[in-house]
Protein backbone atom coordinates (compact mmCIF):
# COMPACT_ATOMS: atom_id res chain seq x y z
CA UNK A 1 0.00 0.00 0.00
CA UNK A 2 2.82 2.35 0.93
CA UNK A 3 6.36 1.80 -0.31
CA UNK A 4 9.24 3.93 0.83
CA UNK A 5 12.40 3.47 -1.17
CA UNK A 6 15.87 4.83 -0.28
CA UNK A 7 14.28 8.01 1.09
CA UNK A 8 16.73 10.72 2.20
CA UNK A 9 16.27 14.22 3.52
CA UNK A 10 18.87 16.72 4.61
CA UNK A 11 18.19 20.17 5.99
CA UNK A 12 21.73 21.44 5.48
CA UNK A 13 22.46 20.52 1.88
CA UNK A 14 23.92 17.12 2.60
CA UNK A 15 26.16 17.93 5.56
CA UNK A 16 23.98 15.80 7.80
CA UNK A 17 20.88 13.75 7.17
CA UNK A 18 17.62 13.93 9.07
CA UNK A 19 16.64 10.79 7.19
CA UNK A 20 19.02 8.53 5.33
CA UNK A 21 18.21 5.77 2.86
CA UNK A 22 14.99 4.75 4.55
CA UNK A 23 13.26 1.80 2.91
CA UNK A 24 10.16 -0.07 4.05
CA UNK A 25 6.72 -1.34 3.09
CA UNK A 26 3.33 -0.97 4.66
CA UNK A 27 0.50 -3.40 3.92
CA UNK A 28 -3.08 -2.20 3.68
CA UNK A 29 -4.99 -2.36 6.94
CA UNK A 30 -1.86 -2.64 9.01
CA UNK A 31 -0.99 -0.57 12.06
CA UNK A 32 2.70 0.23 11.96
CA UNK A 33 4.41 2.08 14.76
CA UNK A 34 7.52 4.19 14.17
CA UNK A 35 9.60 4.30 17.31
CA UNK A 36 12.62 6.47 17.94
CA UNK A 37 14.07 9.11 20.23
CA UNK A 38 13.54 12.76 19.53
CA UNK A 39 15.76 13.74 16.64
CA UNK A 40 15.68 10.27 15.12
CA UNK A 41 13.84 11.54 12.05
CA UNK A 42 10.33 10.30 12.87
CA UNK A 43 8.60 13.58 12.23
CA UNK A 44 10.64 14.22 9.08
CA UNK A 45 9.57 10.84 7.73
CA UNK A 46 5.94 11.60 8.47
CA UNK A 47 6.13 15.04 6.88
CA UNK A 48 7.71 13.56 3.77
CA UNK A 49 4.94 11.01 3.45
CA UNK A 50 2.27 13.65 4.01
CA UNK A 51 3.88 15.92 1.40
CA UNK A 52 4.84 18.69 3.81
CA UNK A 53 8.53 18.20 2.97
CA UNK A 54 10.21 17.24 -0.27
CA UNK A 55 12.71 14.36 -0.40
CA UNK A 56 16.31 14.92 -1.49
CA UNK A 57 16.54 11.39 -2.76
CA UNK A 58 14.47 8.21 -3.00
CA UNK A 59 10.78 7.80 -3.58
CA UNK A 60 7.42 7.30 -1.92
CA UNK A 61 4.80 5.19 -3.64
CA UNK A 62 1.22 4.93 -2.45
CA UNK A 63 -1.31 2.57 -3.98
CA UNK A 64 1.06 1.92 -6.89
CA UNK A 65 1.41 5.63 -7.68
CA UNK A 66 4.61 7.55 -7.09
CA UNK A 67 3.73 10.52 -4.89
CA UNK A 68 7.23 11.82 -4.31
CA UNK A 69 10.53 11.23 -6.03
CA UNK A 70 13.32 13.24 -7.60
CA UNK A 71 11.16 14.36 -10.47
CA UNK A 72 7.68 14.00 -9.15
CA UNK A 73 5.84 15.62 -6.30
CA UNK A 74 2.17 15.29 -5.52
CA UNK A 75 0.87 18.19 -3.41
CA UNK A 76 -0.24 17.27 0.12
CA UNK A 77 -3.82 18.25 -0.67
CA UNK A 78 -3.94 15.63 -3.43
CA UNK A 79 -2.55 12.71 -1.41
CA UNK A 80 -5.60 11.62 0.59
CA UNK A 81 -3.60 11.11 3.73
CA UNK A 82 -5.02 11.83 7.16
CA UNK A 83 -2.63 13.39 9.63
CA UNK A 84 -3.09 14.00 13.34
CA UNK A 85 -0.43 16.41 14.56
CA UNK A 86 1.28 16.20 17.91
CA UNK A 87 -0.24 19.53 18.95
CA UNK A 88 -3.54 18.59 17.22
CA UNK A 89 -3.48 21.75 15.06
CA UNK A 90 -7.22 22.34 15.33
CA UNK A 91 -8.37 25.52 13.64
CA UNK A 92 -8.88 27.79 16.66
CA UNK A 93 -11.40 30.09 14.98
CA UNK A 94 -13.71 27.31 13.83
CA UNK A 95 -16.16 25.26 15.90
CA UNK A 96 -15.70 21.54 16.42
CA UNK A 97 -18.25 20.77 13.73
CA UNK A 98 -16.63 23.23 11.30
CA UNK A 99 -13.26 21.66 11.99
CA UNK A 100 -14.56 18.23 11.08
CA UNK A 101 -16.46 19.59 8.06
CA UNK A 102 -13.35 21.35 6.78
CA UNK A 103 -11.90 18.46 4.81
CA UNK A 104 -15.20 17.19 3.38
CA UNK A 105 -16.73 20.36 2.01
CA UNK A 106 -17.21 18.74 -1.40
CA UNK A 107 -18.71 15.52 -0.08
CA UNK A 108 -22.43 14.86 -0.38
CA UNK A 109 -24.25 14.63 2.96
CA UNK A 110 -21.26 16.25 4.61
CA UNK A 111 -23.28 17.27 7.66
CA UNK A 112 -24.34 13.67 8.31
CA UNK A 113 -20.80 12.46 7.71
CA UNK A 114 -19.33 14.96 10.17
CA UNK A 115 -21.97 14.09 12.73
CA UNK A 116 -21.18 10.42 12.26
CA UNK A 117 -17.49 11.08 12.90
CA UNK A 118 -18.25 13.08 16.05
CA UNK A 119 -20.48 10.25 17.25
CA UNK A 120 -17.68 7.81 16.56
CA UNK A 121 -15.23 9.73 18.75
CA UNK A 122 -17.89 10.31 21.38
CA UNK A 123 -18.20 14.07 21.05
CA UNK A 124 -21.75 14.51 19.87
CA UNK A 125 -23.36 17.45 21.63
CA UNK A 126 -20.17 19.52 21.48
CA UNK A 127 -20.50 20.58 17.83
CA UNK A 128 -20.84 24.28 18.58
CA UNK A 129 -17.88 24.54 20.94
CA UNK A 130 -14.52 25.95 20.02
CA UNK A 131 -11.27 24.01 20.40
CA UNK A 132 -10.09 26.05 23.39
CA UNK A 133 -13.22 25.04 25.29
CA UNK A 134 -12.26 21.36 25.17
CA UNK A 135 -9.86 19.31 27.27
CA UNK A 136 -6.66 17.92 25.76
CA UNK A 137 -8.18 14.48 25.31
CA UNK A 138 -11.26 15.91 23.64
CA UNK A 139 -9.18 18.02 21.29
CA UNK A 140 -7.27 14.90 20.40
CA UNK A 141 -10.47 13.16 19.43
CA UNK A 142 -11.63 16.10 17.34
CA UNK A 143 -8.32 15.97 15.49
CA UNK A 144 -8.89 12.27 14.90
CA UNK A 145 -12.45 12.80 13.68
CA UNK A 146 -11.27 15.57 11.36
CA UNK A 147 -8.52 13.39 9.92
CA UNK A 148 -10.81 10.38 9.45
CA UNK A 149 -13.75 12.26 7.93
CA UNK A 150 -12.36 12.41 4.35
CA UNK A 151 -11.80 8.62 4.53
CA UNK A 152 -8.05 8.71 3.91
CA UNK A 153 -6.29 5.63 2.62
CA UNK A 154 -3.53 6.21 5.15
CA UNK A 155 -3.82 7.73 8.60
CA UNK A 156 -0.70 9.12 10.26
CA UNK A 157 -0.62 9.87 13.96
CA UNK A 158 2.40 11.98 14.93
CA UNK A 159 3.10 11.47 18.64
CA UNK A 160 -0.56 11.99 19.41
CA UNK A 161 -0.31 11.15 23.10
CA UNK A 162 2.87 12.91 24.09
CA UNK A 163 1.04 15.98 25.41
CA UNK A 164 -1.05 13.95 27.84
CA UNK A 165 -0.26 12.68 31.30
CA UNK A 166 0.34 8.96 31.85
CA UNK A 167 -3.08 7.98 33.21
CA UNK A 168 -5.04 9.70 30.48
CA UNK A 169 -2.58 8.50 27.90
CA UNK A 170 -3.23 4.77 28.32
CA UNK A 171 -6.97 5.28 28.40
CA UNK A 172 -6.99 7.52 25.35
CA UNK A 173 -4.62 5.28 23.42
CA UNK A 174 -7.00 2.37 23.82
CA UNK A 175 -9.99 4.52 22.91
CA UNK A 176 -8.32 5.95 19.84
CA UNK A 177 -7.27 2.59 18.51
CA UNK A 178 -10.69 1.10 19.19
CA UNK A 179 -12.08 3.86 16.97
CA UNK A 180 -9.43 3.31 14.32
CA UNK A 181 -10.04 -0.44 14.23
CA UNK A 182 -13.67 0.28 13.31
CA UNK A 183 -12.58 2.20 10.22
CA UNK A 184 -10.08 -0.37 8.93
CA UNK A 185 -7.74 2.37 7.78
CA UNK A 186 -4.00 1.76 7.37
CA UNK A 187 -2.16 3.49 10.19
CA UNK A 188 1.31 4.88 10.68
CA UNK A 189 1.76 5.69 14.31
CA UNK A 190 4.75 7.72 15.47
CA UNK A 191 5.82 7.52 19.09
CA UNK A 192 8.86 7.63 21.31
CA UNK A 193 7.15 5.37 23.82
CA UNK A 194 7.65 1.64 23.27
CA UNK A 195 4.65 0.84 25.48
CA UNK A 196 2.43 2.76 23.05
CA UNK A 197 3.91 0.86 20.13
CA UNK A 198 3.73 -2.56 21.74
CA UNK A 199 0.13 -2.22 22.77
CA UNK A 200 -1.35 -1.30 19.40
CA UNK A 201 1.00 -1.98 16.50
CA UNK A 202 1.07 -4.98 14.17
CA UNK A 203 4.60 -4.09 13.24
CA UNK A 204 7.17 -1.74 14.71
CA UNK A 205 9.82 0.20 12.84
CA UNK A 206 12.78 1.46 14.80
CA UNK A 207 14.47 4.67 13.66
CA UNK A 208 17.81 5.84 14.99
CA UNK A 209 19.70 8.87 13.72
CA UNK A 210 17.66 8.94 10.55
CA UNK A 211 18.13 5.27 9.68
CA UNK A 212 15.85 2.26 9.95
CA UNK A 213 17.46 -0.12 12.42
CA UNK A 214 14.82 -2.82 12.44
CA UNK A 215 11.26 -3.42 11.35
CA UNK A 216 9.48 -6.43 12.70
CA UNK A 217 6.61 -7.70 14.80
CA UNK A 218 6.86 -6.87 18.48
CA UNK A 219 7.79 -10.40 19.55
CA UNK A 220 10.79 -10.59 17.27
CA UNK A 221 12.05 -7.20 18.39
CA UNK A 222 12.16 -8.55 21.90
CA UNK A 223 13.67 -11.94 21.10
CA UNK A 224 15.96 -11.02 18.25
CA UNK A 225 16.83 -7.35 18.42
CA UNK A 226 19.27 -6.17 15.74
CA UNK A 227 21.21 -3.86 18.00
CA UNK A 228 21.84 -3.13 21.63
CA UNK A 229 19.77 0.02 21.20
CA UNK A 230 16.73 -1.93 20.02
CA UNK A 231 17.20 -4.41 22.85
CA UNK A 232 17.29 -1.65 25.43
CA UNK A 233 14.12 -0.08 24.00
CA UNK A 234 12.16 -3.15 25.07
CA UNK A 235 13.36 -3.58 28.62
CA UNK A 236 16.46 -2.94 30.73
CA UNK A 237 19.47 -4.59 29.19
CA UNK A 238 23.02 -5.07 30.42
CA UNK A 239 25.82 -4.83 27.93
CA UNK A 240 28.25 -7.73 28.52
CA UNK A 241 31.52 -5.95 27.92
CA UNK A 242 35.00 -7.45 28.24
CA UNK A 243 35.16 -6.88 32.01
CA UNK A 244 31.83 -8.57 32.62
CA UNK A 245 32.87 -11.46 30.41
CA UNK A 246 35.93 -11.89 32.62
CA UNK A 247 33.91 -11.54 35.80
CA UNK A 248 31.50 -14.27 34.74
CA UNK A 249 34.23 -16.26 33.00
CA UNK A 250 32.13 -16.54 29.88
CA UNK A 251 34.22 -16.25 26.73
CA UNK A 252 32.13 -14.79 23.89
CA UNK A 253 32.75 -14.15 20.20
CA UNK A 254 35.39 -11.44 19.76
CA UNK A 255 33.88 -9.39 16.95
CA UNK A 256 30.35 -9.29 18.31
CA UNK A 257 28.51 -7.26 20.89
CA UNK A 258 26.59 -9.11 23.62
CA UNK A 259 23.92 -8.23 26.12
CA UNK A 260 21.61 -9.87 28.61
CA UNK A 261 18.15 -8.70 29.57
CA UNK A 262 17.87 -7.67 33.17
CA UNK A 263 15.04 -10.09 33.89
CA UNK A 264 17.19 -12.97 32.61
CA UNK A 265 19.85 -12.39 35.27
CA UNK A 266 19.35 -14.90 38.04
CA UNK A 267 19.86 -13.77 41.62
CA UNK A 268 20.30 -16.36 44.35
CA UNK A 269 21.54 -16.66 47.92
CA UNK A 270 24.00 -19.48 47.25
CA UNK A 271 26.12 -20.67 44.37
CA UNK A 272 24.62 -24.17 44.35
CA UNK A 273 21.00 -23.00 44.35
CA UNK A 274 21.36 -21.01 41.17
CA UNK A 275 20.85 -22.98 38.00
CA UNK A 276 23.02 -21.11 35.53
CA UNK A 277 26.06 -21.60 33.34
CA UNK A 278 27.91 -18.46 34.30
CA UNK A 279 27.92 -17.31 37.88
CA UNK A 280 29.83 -15.04 40.19
CA UNK A 281 29.63 -13.78 43.76
CA UNK A 282 28.66 -10.17 44.41
CA UNK A 283 28.42 -7.73 47.30
CA UNK A 284 25.18 -5.76 47.67
CA UNK A 285 26.12 -2.10 47.89
CA UNK A 286 22.65 -0.62 47.74
CA UNK A 287 19.05 -1.86 47.92
CA UNK A 288 16.40 0.32 46.34
CA UNK A 289 12.84 -0.83 47.05
CA UNK A 290 10.61 -0.15 44.04
CA UNK A 291 7.36 -1.51 45.41
CA UNK A 292 6.81 -4.77 43.54
CA UNK A 293 10.55 -5.48 43.24
CA UNK A 294 13.89 -4.42 44.62
CA UNK A 295 16.71 -2.94 42.66
CA UNK A 296 20.17 -4.07 43.74
CA UNK A 297 23.41 -2.33 43.01
CA UNK A 298 26.09 -5.00 43.15
CA UNK A 299 29.84 -5.05 43.25
CA UNK A 300 31.15 -8.20 41.63
CA UNK A 301 34.21 -10.09 42.83
CA UNK A 302 36.14 -8.59 39.95
CA UNK A 303 35.24 -5.08 41.12
CA UNK A 304 32.69 -4.44 38.34
CA UNK A 305 29.38 -2.84 39.24
CA UNK A 306 26.08 -4.30 38.07
CA UNK A 307 22.46 -3.35 38.66
CA UNK A 308 19.83 -6.12 38.82
CA UNK A 309 16.23 -6.54 39.88
CA UNK A 310 14.83 -9.16 42.24
CA UNK A 311 11.44 -10.10 43.68
CA UNK A 312 13.15 -11.55 46.72
CA UNK A 313 12.60 -9.42 49.82
CA UNK A 314 15.33 -10.96 52.03
CA UNK A 315 18.65 -10.31 50.43
CA UNK A 316 21.88 -11.14 52.21
CA UNK A 317 24.91 -8.86 51.96
CA UNK A 318 26.70 -11.27 49.65
CA UNK A 319 24.79 -13.07 46.90
CA UNK A 320 25.34 -14.85 43.60
CA UNK A 321 24.33 -13.64 40.15
CA UNK A 322 24.46 -15.49 36.88
CA UNK A 323 22.84 -16.19 33.51
CA UNK A 324 22.59 -18.82 30.81
CA UNK A 325 24.06 -18.79 27.33
CA UNK A 326 20.67 -19.25 25.66
CA UNK A 327 19.58 -15.87 27.02
CA UNK A 328 22.57 -13.96 25.66
CA UNK A 329 21.69 -11.55 22.86
CA UNK A 330 24.29 -11.25 20.13
CA UNK A 331 24.69 -8.32 17.69
CA UNK A 332 27.18 -7.33 15.05
CA UNK A 333 29.92 -5.32 16.68
CA UNK A 334 29.47 -2.13 14.66
CA UNK A 335 25.82 -1.82 15.65
- Tell me the closest approach of the beta carbon of residue 10 to another protein, in angstroms: 7
- Tell me the closest approach of the beta carbon of residue 84 to another protein, in angstroms: 9
- Tell me the closest approach of the beta carbon of residue 121 to another protein, in angstroms: 16
Q: Which is nearer to another protein, 18 or 231 (CB)?
A: 18
Q: Which is nearer to another protein, 208 or 237 (CB)?
A: 208
- Tell me the closest approach of the beta carbon of residue 26 to another protein, in angstroms: 18
Q: Please enumerate in sequence order all residues whose Cβ is within 8 A of that of 23, keeping only pairs 6 or more positions apart, or say none.
A: 4, 5, 6, 7, 58, 212
- Tell me the closest approach of the beta carbon of residue 237 to another protein, in angstroms: 27
**Distance from C-alpha of 44 to C-alpha of 54, rounded to nearest angstrom:** 10
CB contact at 8 A, 58 and 8: yes
**Distance from C-alpha of 214 to C-alpha of 76, rounded to nearest angstrom:** 28
Q: Is 151 left (phi over 0), alpha (psi -120 to 50) or beta?
A: left
How do strand 31-35 and strand 186-191 relate by DSSP bridges? parallel
Q: Which is nearer to another protein, 146 or 261 (CB)?
A: 146
CB-count burial class (<10 Å; 0-12, 13-18, 19+) for 107: middle
Q: Which is nearer to another protein, 75 or 314 (CB)?
A: 75
| Interacting residues toward another protein by CB under 8 A | 6, 8, 10, 13-14, 17, 20-21, 50-52, 54, 56-57, 70-73, 75-83, 85-87, 89, 91-93, 102-103, 146-147, 150
Q: Which is nearer to another protein, 93 or 132 (CB)?
A: 93
Q: Which is nearer to another protein, 309 or 335 (CB)?
A: 335
- Tell me the closest approach of the beta carbon of residue 127 to another protein, in angstroms: 18
Q: Where are the alpha helices (DSSP H) in the chain?
A: 42-50, 96-101, 110-120, 136-148, 166-183, 194-200, 218-223, 228-233, 242-248
Amino acid sequence: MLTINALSKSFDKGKSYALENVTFNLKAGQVCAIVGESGSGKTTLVRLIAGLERPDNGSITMNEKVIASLDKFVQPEKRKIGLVFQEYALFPHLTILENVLYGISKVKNKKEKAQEMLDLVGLSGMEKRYPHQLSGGQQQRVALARALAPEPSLLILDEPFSNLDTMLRTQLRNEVFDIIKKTEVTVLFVTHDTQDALSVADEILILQKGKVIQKDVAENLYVKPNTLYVASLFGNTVHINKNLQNAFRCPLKEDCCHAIRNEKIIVSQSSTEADCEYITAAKVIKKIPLGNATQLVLKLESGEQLTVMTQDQNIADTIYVGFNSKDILEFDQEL
